[in-house]
Structure 1
């Protein structure tokens, strides 16, 4: 994650906004596949342009999803620092006086935004479903109409919300699974088990997507959508299998990176509430502290370094050492020569320690 390419979009209310280049690539790929279907359909290439606009609006909805995370983090007393619009979106913040319930509340605030958007647009989905003689819901031809566009946006917001609750890393549901295992087997083992569950589900999803894409022509022909794919929601479903493969690859990488981080840091890794700083682009990382310090979490500010000993304390320590050595010399019958020899020895060790520190 250290070389993660992002586009800086500005800073609002003290929070950086960055766009992941991977999302731009993914949207571009979906648009190309959409154009290919549209070129073989009666509706023309306009429907592919409408699909591209839909993807851009969906990206804005994912931004609102991350705003939900950031707002809840601020309500819980933490300080949001950056929102990265990635393939699921990531909100980074500095944890202050973190409580066990905080991660759950912050995680749920994002999907709640998508549920609200989906519910507000749900009447348009009902209108499209109830209409007769029109292109079916979630087909490219339907998206080219304003009612079909809003209906598809409603459906996609529900998919984003439910998908975030799935135990697929780095979605919010994976953190809930980690909490379940961590309560029984500790944080490290809980993380490793949650990552294994996530990897298994991602591999199953990727396998199904590969199978459907391999049989894509046969499936479309069987459904009667081969000659006019833009009029069939099945064609859109097939296009989004490329997105599933992309997400599976990124999800497996995120899970692997989190497992590696937790193995390295042990239980100290649990002090981070939200995405770990290691997942942040290098250019946006804070200068110090890759992991939130436990004292920062409990106190809300960096612990100040312990002050060095004052000159008076050093003089008093030297007098105490000299008195102790003189007492030993008197009790053992050793003379001033022994005393001087021990003093020189102690001074030499002190000088050596000083040089080592330099």
Structure 2
């Protein structure tokens, strides 16, 4: 079952709306009608909710476009009943960049509020805090002004991974260790999540959902940063597979299938006739190619051309970052030995499974025989 629907593409970013958003609109329509017994008021309530989420979308676009300035792409933006989520390919590594990306969203809401304020003042309309019936244009935009200010202020609460929490982590990282800054921000975020949870149970259920999001997000991101720090201490050569068979673009898929069945290697680097690395034939691509084109088709017709490469001396966190940026989930490891001859020398292959195995072995060794036996 699909949980979200694509609504379009804005400035190269896919926009999705979560299925539960429809439930939110239904809830707004029903509660408004039951409270006021007026179809016009019900329609106005639904319209106002949609306009609020247009502001949320602009908020997320602020994050995405600021991240783009630093070379970070946004996979997509999804609108949820509790807000929006912009999925960046990675977080900025420099504290200054992360600070700007984090503050860009609230800054958009402040800009919207100031724009509405300017229009209201120029037109001589009063600045009202709220009109339940939303009667007239001025009360509508007056409420939208206050909503945008509220969104900006709420998102600046230092509850990591909300915007305020990310800004706090960036500020802490300026004068210290990034991992320690994340630990502090995550602990504070989880503490605020507990407060949100209690308030949500007592007064507003939406706060309880936000509390859950903050708690899970803080725990997940803190674990991710810890893992990245661990990976940064290991070179790629510590985890890569060195017993690697290499295919040629002119090899048939039948040949590749024999290699697959005769060993443990599932992904094969592919070289051109001149010895240049031009692709990776994954097990998935091989099976698809056999099904669609038959065993006599060439490897070149089925290989994945969107792949990354790495050097064995680079650190594992670099490899993980590159894996996340490509469709191919396997990285050929290339040395500089063949540069003079204009060819690539493949010395290994690396996947996330290889990295996971290295970490498991290191953890077992760190526990020691006594602790390892106790764990079983």
Same fold (TM over 0.5): yes
Larger relative contact order (C-alpha < 8 A, sep ≥ 6)? Answer: 1
Please say if residues 159 and 165 of structure 2, whose CA atoms lie closer than 8 Å, have aligned partners that are also in contact.
yes
Q: Distance in 1 between matches of 2:119 and 2:132?
A: 16
More displaced 10-residue stretch of structure 1: 66-75 or 97-106: 97-106
| Correspondence list, 1:120-135, <5 A | 120-122=115-117, 129=126
Question: For each residue in 1:34-91, what CA deviation from the matched residue of structure 2 results, as whole angstroms up to 9, or x when unmatched?
Answer: 333224xxxx343232121111011111111122222222223333332222433222
- The change in CA–CA distance for 1:125 and 1:206 in structure 2 (over 3 A counts) is farther
Cα deviation, residue 163, structure 1 = 1.4
| Correspondence list, 1:218-257, <5 A | 241-257=204-220
Cα deviation, residue 17, structure 1 = 1.6
| Correspondence list, 1:6-85, <5 A | 6-39=4-37, 44-85=38-79
Q: 1:162 aligns with which of 150, 153, 160?
A: 153
Please say if residues 67 and 92 of structure 2, whose CA atoms lie closer than 8 Å, have aligned partners that are also in contact.
no
RMSD over aligned CA atoms reads 3.8
1:115 aligns with 2:107: no
Please say if residues 157 and 164 of structure 2, whose CA atoms lie closer than 8 Å, have aligned partners that are also in contact.
yes
Q: Distance in 2 between matches of 1:8 and 1:169?
A: 28
Question: For each residue in 1:263-300, what CA deviation from the matched residue of structure 2 results, as whole angstroms up to 9, or x when unmatched?
Answer: 4443669xxxxxxxxxxxxxxxxx989xx9537989xx
Q: Distance in 1 between matches of 2:60 and 2:166?
A: 16
- The change in CA–CA distance for 1:8 and 1:159 in structure 2 (over 3 A counts) is same
Cα deviation, residue 117, structure 1 = 0.7
Q: When you count strand as a share of all residues, which structure comes out higher?
A: 2
Please name the residue that 1:218 is paired with: none
Question: For each residue in 1:228-269, what CA deviation from the matched residue of structure 2 results, as whole angstroms up to 9, or x when unmatched?
Answer: xxxxxxxxxxxxx34323322322232232233334443669
- The change in CA–CA distance for 1:98 and 1:174 in structure 2 (over 3 A counts) is closer
Please name the residue that 2:194 is paired with: 203
- The change in CA–CA distance for 1:306 and 1:22 in structure 2 (over 3 A counts) is same
More displaced 10-residue stretch of structure 1: 255-264 or 108-117: 255-264
Cα deviation, residue 182, structure 1 = 4.3
Scaled by the length of structure 2, what TM-score is found? 0.55
Q: Distance in 2 between matches of 1:121 and 1:33?
A: 27
| Structure 2: tracts of 5 or more residues without a match | 233-305, 309-315, 342-376
Please name the residue that 2:318 is paired with: 294
Please say if residues 95 and 173 of structure 2, whose CA atoms lie closer than 8 Å, have aligned partners that are also in contact.
no
Please name the residue that 1:186 is paired with: 177
Q: 2:138 aligns with which of 132, 139, 147?
A: 147
Q: When you count helix as a share of all residues, which structure comes out higher?
A: 1
Please name the residue that 2:260 is paired with: none
- The change in CA–CA distance for 1:33 and 1:190 in structure 2 (over 3 A counts) is farther
Q: Larger C-alpha radius of gyration, 1 or 2?
A: 1
Cα deviation, residue 194, structure 1 = 1.6
Q: Distance in 2 between matches of 1:175 and 1:25?
A: 30
Q: Distance in 2 between matches of 1:190 and 1:204?
A: 22
Please name the residue that 1:305 is paired with: 333
Q: Distance in 2 between matches of 1:296 and 1:251?
A: 25
Cα deviation, residue 171, structure 1 = 1.5
